[in-house]
């Protein structure tokens, strides 16, 4: 039972499926925000579409709207003034539930085809979404375009490809014949139905609403579930546009748009906890802080729960050929989006006696100063600084910088406000770099989200590796990096860090950074330490979102002859 | 990196993998207990091996043995007198953990090959294991052989095939190249490591210790975990033999046998709760009662939990061409192993005005009496009765029969003790059949484990279907059957019953029964109602037992040229 949209996008799906098998580089949606690719007017059209949203009610014709809600503020100082339907959960969940049977019965190809079309439309709207991501998360435009647009779409497609593969494993029907006597057979016709779990809840985060939201949305939707999207109150717009587009595509295909709905709230009147424990919610995808993630894991007993929480990422310096490309690479990693990526290193472990650089030993201070100097140089250019740092999403993060500086450690680099020429009101602060001793675990062995970096003086690399692994085991970690010229050190780190469930990036220099995670190739979050219980993406991320239920009946002589 | 045992059994694995994809009939291990297949002396050898166990300490050279424990009694009256090492969990779990790194590093093919060899050895020991299953569960010999031997081995192989497929999805290594400039590329070498969760705990049940135990054992073991087997105190021996064989194969292959260990206990001093919440236990496979299963799901927060609990199974009678083959088929289903299968129907829904039989309407009483009569006839032959009924595993089940008779409903068929010629001390009771009204939900809409059957008089088939679905939703269900000559009724039942997460068997007559679940084709338990959260088997049953953790490093010019 094929579907026109499935046929239209089949090549994309096949390429995605091949990519997740061989894990070589592949991308469906171009990351370059070029007019040649997206259309010459795409950039200004997207900006205009975004601006037209400002100060306006965001209309979604979903049921159970009981007023308006929304209070987003751009970290770049722009007043958004957008409000969204305030949802009555009873009415909304009832409508979502009512949409399920037709969606289930539409079949694998129809559901997959419609999801592919939604992704295609999202891609076409990448510039508009980029502006929405920029002015909610604080990401600078280029990053907002790439991470919030094509890379997010790639992650959604990746989940979709896994879902399609899992759903296609089992045939719809089979004739089963068993010999039960010398000339006696039992012949059964068996039908296998995919039964969705019900309604999935996707809880978005404030920093990467689409990148972290799309995998759960498409994994749940493709496998026959309805999806209620609950964005972070600070980053509603990107997901509201996403919901709008999904509903459009569903409607065009004579399907109930209430399969995808939005529930918005504010920081002052949060409603996520109430949703999380609703009996109708059978799947939860959560991205956000660890405390609330842990609460969900422990309290949403009625649902299958996938979490991507927070961690404390480590960088281990052991030995390098040349310090400059290393400190330069690190400076970019530490500065990018002001350290607000879940993949940004927080702790840099350096032996207290320093490291080998090329032929000679450099002292701890020299290495630490090289990193500080690289950050200084990197942010010395105001335009580049603005483009890389972006804005601080949450006021609380700004407060945390001062708090960190006051709590202890030696300040190697003071955090300072940075002026963004284009957005003078933007909330921008450069990274704070502190030096601490390996024994000061109360300072560095905890998550300090934002542009806060600890350079930790250790006994030696062995201790550095041990502390990085311990941090991951106890507090979670999503990335770890190491610089070493010694194969044995690299092997030991790989063993210890992998065992703590953290992917390891070795000796990255040039245009590749520890923060980056590529769809179809890199597994984001391992599910093997407290930073989350799931991976983007693997089979485990999709296989339990639906169940197979069969029926079987004897094939009778009459039935055979009429078949 | 292949392995001799993998190569030796490769064909078996390939056939299993094909079977779970196409779901046609297939079996690796012959179900006929024939000397031609298993060797002319296999039957007496197996019996002798079993007898040699009786009254003896069961030796397992596993660490942390602090005494002896064990108190099994055969439902057939035999005194087993076997005792097992009493395990100190600290020492045992420490040893299991210490065995993990080598097992992980052995690789996919070695682990899979060793699991295949263990299954092969189990198959060779099917007669011995059959006697152990018989004299712990109360299954008659033929069933103990089939369900406890080859069918259990098939289920283990099925889980192994799923595990192998999941582990093989991701390459061990890949070169990833992305263009980042006009002539600039980033080239990374990525390595993907499979990281086991840690130690898996398999909690066995008293009725099908091997059939329900093997999937979890092989799924966890193959994916790199250690397995602690915790049998039901009433059915230790079959799993103790299993552990013994697994340890033998591991030792022969220079691997640490403590990857598979046994923890035995008694009803009076149970230790399962303590194990379930141990931080070392990262995976739990549980088969057994719903109350304890729910407790595990709610309390084992540190582990991935797979449960197969209990349910209340329904049979719906709507219309038949001929009553005799239907009542005969039902009589066997109700009698087999005295209703102690998790797949046995408990409630038979019949419209109060009766059903169409061929051309004519038969009254409710006529249909009910036909079922009662078929059971009477079936059990009228003492030898056949003994072979089909087996023994009552648990004294409490006997008590439940009297309790059910006293609580209400009209007794259509009294349960009676049945004499087993071969084992005069055997605990055997024929099925109790009660008639109740559809409103008496307090009587029938609850699990009454054992040879207890309710025939429920409903308004019509529509209500029958509704009540069967409601029962499944509220109390869980593992099977449902229907007899109808009306395609619309069958379609409506399929829709409602599937939606309640229950596989439906339609119009079974002859040598196929609603109780039966075939490995490689039938999904046992859906995971979509309270009867369990997992299926035997699907990808979700295996994919989350390990995680993929990667490392990546730039491919340098030197590295390329030496490659």
Task: Please state, in angstroms and rounded to a whole number, the distance separating the CA atoms of residues B239 and B204.
Answer: 8
The domain limits of chain B are 41-309+532-548, 313-506
A235: DSSP letter = S
Q: Give me the torsion for CA of A521, A522, A523, A526, rounded to 10°.
A: 150
Cα separation values, B336 from A143, A439, B390, Å: 65, 66, 8
Question: What are the tens digits of pLDDT across the range B346-401?
Answer: 999 999 999 999 989 999 999 999 999 999 999 999 999 999 999 999 999 999 99
Bridge partners for B357 per DSSP: B320, B360
Nearest CA in chain B to A493: B551
Across the A/B interface, how many CB contacts are shorter than 8 Å?
193
Q: How far is A105 from chain B (nearest CA, A)?
A: 11
pLDDT band at residue A559 using 50, 70 and 90 as cut-offs = very low
- The residue-averaged pLDDT of B290-305 equals 95
Give the pLDDT confidence score for residue A79 in this predicted structure: 87
Are A181 and B511 inside 8 Å of each other by CB?
Answer: yes
Which helix (H) or strand (E) segment holds residue A11: the answer is helix A4-22
Identical fold, B41-309+532-548 and B313-506: no
Does pLDDT of A561 surpass 60? no
Angle at the Cα of A373 from the Cα atoms of A369 and A379, rounded to 5 degrees: 150
Give the pLDDT confidence score for residue B558 in this predicted structure: 45
Give the pLDDT confidence score for residue B2 in this predicted structure: 87
Q: Please, are residues A100 and A198 in contact by the beta-carbon 8 Å criterion?
A: yes
Does pLDDT of B28 surpass 90? yes
Are A21 and B169 inside 8 Å of each other by CB?
Answer: yes
CATH 3.40.640.10: does it fit domain A314-506? no
- The residue-averaged pLDDT of B207-220 equals 98
- The residue-averaged pLDDT of A411-434 equals 96
Q: Please, are residues A255 and A102 in contact by the beta-carbon 8 Å criterion?
A: yes
Does pLDDT of B556 surpass 90? no
Task: Please state, in angstroms and rounded to a whole number, the distance separating the CA atoms of residues B481 and B503.
Answer: 8
Q: Is A277 on the interface with B (CB under 8 A)?
A: no
Of B176, B192, B498, the CB nearest to A549: B498
Which CATH entry fits the domain spanning B313-506: 1.10.260.40, 2.60.98.20, 3.40.1390.30, 3.40.309.10?
Answer: 3.40.309.10
Which of B178, B194, B198 to mutate to probe the A interface, most A CBs <10 Å? B178
Closest CA to A449 of A369, A382, A394: A394
Cα separation values, B156 from A247, B36, B117, B118, B123, Å: 44, 24, 12, 10, 11
Q: Which two tokens stand for residue B374?
A: 């078929």
The answer for residues whose C-beta is within 8 angstroms of residue B148's C-beta and 6 or more apart is B129, B130, B132, B133, B134, B137, B139, B208, B209, B210, B211, B238
Question: What are the tens digits of pLDDT across the range B199-213?
Answer: 999 999 999 999 999
Task: Please state, in angstroms and rounded to a whole number, the distance separating the CA atoms of residues A357 and A370.
Answer: 12
Does pLDDT of B289 surpass 70? yes
Q: Please, are residues B317 and B474 in contact by the beta-carbon 8 Å criterion?
A: no
Q: How far is A387 from chain B (nearest CA, A)?
A: 18
Mean pLDDT of chain A: 96
Are B298 and A301 inside 8 Å of each other by CB?
Answer: yes
Q: What does the longest C-alpha to C-alpha distance in chain A come to?
A: 88
CATH 3.40.50.720: does it fit domain A4-309+532-548? no
Task: Please state, in angstroms and rounded to a whole number, the distance separating the CA atoms of residues B221 and B418.
Answer: 42
Which of B549, B555, B556, B562 to mutate to probe the A interface, most A CBs <10 Å? B549
Three-state SS for B491?
A: helix
The answer for residues whose C-beta is within 8 angstroms of residue B287's C-beta and 6 or more apart is B203, B204, B205, B208, B212, B213, B307, B308, B309
Instruction: Give chain B positions within 8 Å (CB) of A186.
Output: 510-512
Which helix (H) or strand (E) segment holds residue B202: the answer is strand B199-203
Q: What would you report as the CA-atom Rg of chain B, rounded to the nearest whole angstrom?
A: 25
Q: Is A32 on the interface with B (CB under 8 A)?
A: no
Question: What are the tens digits of pLDDT across the range B416-472?
Answer: 999 999 999 999 999 999 999 999 999 999 999 999 999 999 999 999 999 999 999
Q: Please, are residues A5 and A108 in contact by the beta-carbon 8 Å criterion?
A: no
Task: Please state, in angstroms and rounded to a whole number, the distance separating the CA atoms of residues A255 and A250.
Answer: 5
Mean pLDDT of chain B: 96
Cα separation values, B315 from A391, B334, B336, B340, B410, Å: 63, 11, 16, 16, 19
Percentage of chain B beyond pLDDT 70 is 99
pLDDT band at residue B79 using 50, 70 and 90 as cut-offs = confident
Give the pLDDT confidence score for residue A489 in this predicted structure: 98
Q: Is A322 on the interface with B (CB under 8 A)?
A: no
Contacts with B, A 471-490, CB within 8 Å? 490
Instruction: Give chain A positions within 8 Å (CB) of B550.
Output: 503-504, 522-523
> What is the β-pairing status of strands B410-413 and A314-317?
unpaired
Q: Which of A550-559, B249-258, B540-549 has the lowest mean pLDDT?
A: A550-559
Of B24, B528, B547, the CB nearest to A526: B547
Does pLDDT of B511 surpass 70? yes
Task: Determine the number of helices (DSSP H) and then strands (DSSP E) in chain B.
Answer: 22, 20
Token pair 């079993």 in the structure block, residue? B50
Q: Which of A553-562, B118-127, B352-361 has the lowest mean pLDDT?
A: A553-562
Task: Please state, in angstroms and rounded to a whole number, the distance separating the CA atoms of residues B336 and B329.
Answer: 11
Q: Is B68 on the interface with A (CB under 8 A)?
A: no
CA–chain centroid gap for A12, Å, is: 21
Of A175, A184, A547, the CB nearest to B527: A547
Task: Please state, in angstroms and rounded to a whole number, the distance separating the CA atoms of residues A508 and A169.
Answer: 38
Task: Please state, in angstroms and rounded to a whole number, the distance separating the CA atoms of residues A532 and A529.
Answer: 7
Q: Could you please state the CATH topology (level 3) that the domain comprising B41-309+532-548 is classified under.
A: Aldehyde Dehydrogenase; Chain A, domain 1 (3.40.605)
Q: Please, are residues B130 and B149 in contact by the beta-carbon 8 Å criterion?
A: yes
Does pLDDT of A557 surpass 60? no
Cα separation values, B120 from A56, A473, B132, B166, B204, Å: 69, 38, 18, 22, 21
- The residue-averaged pLDDT of A244-266 equals 98
């Amino acid at each position: 039972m094929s579907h026109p949209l499935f046929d239209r996008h089949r090549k994309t799906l096949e390429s995605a499926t091949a990519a997740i098998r061989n894990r070589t580089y592949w991308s469906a949606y171009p990351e370059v925000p070029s007019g040649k690719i997206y259309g010459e007017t795409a950039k200004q059209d997207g900006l205009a579409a975004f601006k037209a949203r400002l100060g306006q009610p965001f209309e979604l014709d979903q049921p159970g709207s009981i007023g308006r809600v929304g209070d987003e503020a751009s970290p770049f100082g722009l007043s958004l003034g957008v409000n969204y339907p305030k949802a009555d959960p009873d009415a909304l969940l009832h409508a979502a539930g009512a949409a399920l049977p037709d969606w289930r019965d539409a079949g694998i190809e129809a559901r997959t085809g419609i999801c592919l079309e939604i992704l295609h439309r999202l891609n076409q709207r990448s510039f508009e979404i980029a502006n929405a991501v920029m002015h909610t998360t604080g990401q600078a435009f280029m990053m907002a375009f790439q991470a919030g647009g094509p890379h997010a779409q790639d992650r959604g497609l990746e989940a979709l490809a896994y879902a399609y593969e899992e759903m296609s494993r089992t045939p719809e029907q089979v004739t089963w014949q068993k010999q039960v006597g010398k000339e006696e057979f039992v012949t059964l016709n068996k039908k296998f139905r995919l039964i969705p779990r019900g309604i999935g809840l996707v809880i978005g985060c404030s920093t990467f609403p689409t990148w972290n939201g799309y995998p759960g949305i498409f994994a749940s939707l493709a496998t026959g579930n309805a999806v209620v999207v609950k964005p972070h109150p600070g980053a509603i717009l990107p997901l509201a546009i996403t919901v709008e587009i999904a509903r459009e595509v569903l409607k065009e295909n004579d399907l109930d748009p209430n399969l995808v709905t939005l529930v918005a709230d504010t920081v002052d009147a949060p409603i996520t906890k109430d949703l999380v424990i609703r009996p109708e919610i059978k799947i939860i995808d959560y991205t956000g802080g660890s405390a609330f993630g842990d609460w969900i894991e422990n309290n949403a007993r009625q649902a299958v729960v996938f979490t991507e929480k927070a961690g404390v990422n480590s960088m281990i310096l052991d030995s390098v050929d040349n310090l400059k490309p290393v400190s330069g690479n690190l400076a970019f990693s530490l500065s990018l989006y002001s350290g607000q990526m879940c993949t940004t290193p927080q702790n840099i472990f350096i032996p207290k006696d320093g490291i080998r650089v090329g032929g000679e030993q450099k002292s701890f201070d020299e290495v630490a100063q090289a990193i500080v100097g690289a950050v200084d140089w990197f942010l010395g250019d105001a335009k580049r600084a603005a483009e890389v740092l972006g804005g601080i999403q949450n006021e609380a993060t700004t407060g945390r910088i001062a708090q960190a500086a006051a709590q202890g450690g030696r300040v190697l680099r003071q955090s300072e406000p940075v002026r963004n020429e284009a957005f003078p009101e933007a909330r921008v602060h450069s990274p704070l770099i502190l030096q601490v001793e390996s024994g000061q675990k109360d300072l560095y062995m905890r998550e300090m989200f934002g542009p806060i970096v600890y350079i930790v003086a250790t006994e030696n690399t062995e201790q550095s590796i041990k502390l990085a692994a311990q941090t991951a085991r106890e507090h979670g970690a999503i990335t770890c990096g190491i610089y070493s010229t010694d194969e044995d050190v690299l092997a030991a780190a790989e063993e210890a860090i992998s065992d703590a469930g953290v992917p390891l990036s070795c000796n990255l220099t040039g245009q590749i950074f520890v923060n980056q995670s590529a769809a179809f190739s890199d597994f984001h979050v391992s599910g093997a330490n407290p930073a989350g219980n799931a991976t983007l993406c693997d089979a485990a991320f999709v296989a339990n979102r639906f169940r197979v239920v069969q029926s079987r009946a004897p094939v009778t002589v009459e039935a055979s002859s009429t078949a």
